[in-house]
Structure 1
């Protein structure tokens, strides 16, 4: 999952980004409204964390313009503004949730899980494919109850495949949702991580459930 954090308190912004990276999310950060609006309009994110009091373009104005452009991507407002009018304005402009500062990181994690599961029409905390299970809360994978040791990037790849079973996922889509923009479609990084994940799954399951569609991408097909 690829998350954009627009927050002018740099220490808070970097702290939240690092915590989310540990959870397995890829994050982009920016500290002013003008850059944040530009990123919203030009990049493809799974979730946006948006402060309201920003230098440059105000958070509510970012939200207003973004919703004219994109009505699907969840937006979670993080703001010190705790007046009911601010919450109502944010929700009326299209925010999906509103979290008042200061907040506990565990609550932020829970709200992010809720919003991303809602986006992908996934109600369960645990994603499943045959004997393979991935817990989106603990970020742990297992096969028949036996833990599977995965790197952070491998966990993110497995989660995305499980959310999009039986659909070809292109390298470009993986970069948008699983990488942080530091790689491109010509990078060997994608192939290396997918190859490693496939080897671990094959060793645990007995066969490789991920197939390579030449010139298209990769697919986790429905189990037959």
Structure 2
């Protein structure tokens, strides 16, 4: 349990990954009242328990697959079609969030985070490639890339604040709810309106290069 002095009692007692997750009401860790940006991994560690014992849930479960596969996803989009990879990324983000939202064990949360990370790896390179294809004029393209970067920075700034609001008023699992409708709406719009594109020529996957990139990640 959280003892209010900045330490976790019994934190060295590690449960198995398959043990059941139970929600613990927020507000037992001595945090000041009001909405604050939160460290998601630390907040989840304090607000989730496994059979009554604290268990950390790391956000690196989504960051590591994204970092390892972002280059591979970009090449897949160039070879097989960027629209296909973009739609697949949105579907994986929605499925991963739904899996984490309904998780009954720590392992299910990790699986959901990993699936969302795969979706993010598919989205980041394909969105830039789709912008470049849809806006051939270099000056106009720079404006749209600036909007793309601004949207990413806005999400990074607002995400911890939204997570803090949710953790102050509900169980930790509800932080995974919002990405589901957003991903599904974007998927429906992209499937109907987004033009497809792929790299010109006969580009192929460089498997030795991809394996090297994975190892370095």
Structure with the greater alpha carbon radius of gyration: 2
TM bin, normalised by shorter chain, reads under 0.3
The structure with more helix, counted as a fraction of residues? 2
Higher RCO, 1 or 2 (CA under 8 Å, sep at least 6)?
Answer: 2
- TM-score scaled by structure 1? 0.23
- TM-score scaled by structure 2? 0.24
